[in-house]
């Protein structure tokens, strides 16, 4: 069978990286829920924003991995984006405040 037809299973390293990216998104979501739904301030807003923005590195890590494929990159990225979707407006607001300062 030609090599282009067969598909190799992703290595444990790639699966671990994909799982960590999803766990990272879950952590961000849980901190957001804790901050805004339960008034539980586990981390300051700027630290949460940094954690949120650091998640953007995961798609690049998955894209640069030697065992990447479109499906292997898209699945964890789409799951992560779906988990982060409720947090997007908060992240945008915190980013604008961090760059331009708080509104008067």
Element spanning 81, H or E: helix 70-84
Helix, strand, coil % in the chain, rounded to nearest 5: 70, 0, 30
User: Distance (Å, rounded) from C-alpha 59 to C-alpha 64?
Assistant: 9
| Residue 75 in domain | yes
Is 19 a domain residue? yes
Nearest one of 84, 34, 16, 30 to 56, comparing CA atoms: 84
The residue range of the domain holding 76 is 14-94
**Residue count (the chain):** 104
Residues 14 and 64: beta-carbon distance below 8 Å = no
Any domain includes 6: no
Place of tokens 């990159």: 73
**Structural domains counted in the chain:** 1
**58 assigned to some structural domain:** yes
Does the pLDDT value for residue 92 go beyond 80?
A: yes
Is 0.85 surpassed by the pTM of this model?
A: no
Render pLDDT for 31-40 as a digit per residue (tens, 0 to 9). Answer: 999 987 888 8
pLDDT in tens, 78-91: 999 999 999 999 89
């Amino acid at each position: 069978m030609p090599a282009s037809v067969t598909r190799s299973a992703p290595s444990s390293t790639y699966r671990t990286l994909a799982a960590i990216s999803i766990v990272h998104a879950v952590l961000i979501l849980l901190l957001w829920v804790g901050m805004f739904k339960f008034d539980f301030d586990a981390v300051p807003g700027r630290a949460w924003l940094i954690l949120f923005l650091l998640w953007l590195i995961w798609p690049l890590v998955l894209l640069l991995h030697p065992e990447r494929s479109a499906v292997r990159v898209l699945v964890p990225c789409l799951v992560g984006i779906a988990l982060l979707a409720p947090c997007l407006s908060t992240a945008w607001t915190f980013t604008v405040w961090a760059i331009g300062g708080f509104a008067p």
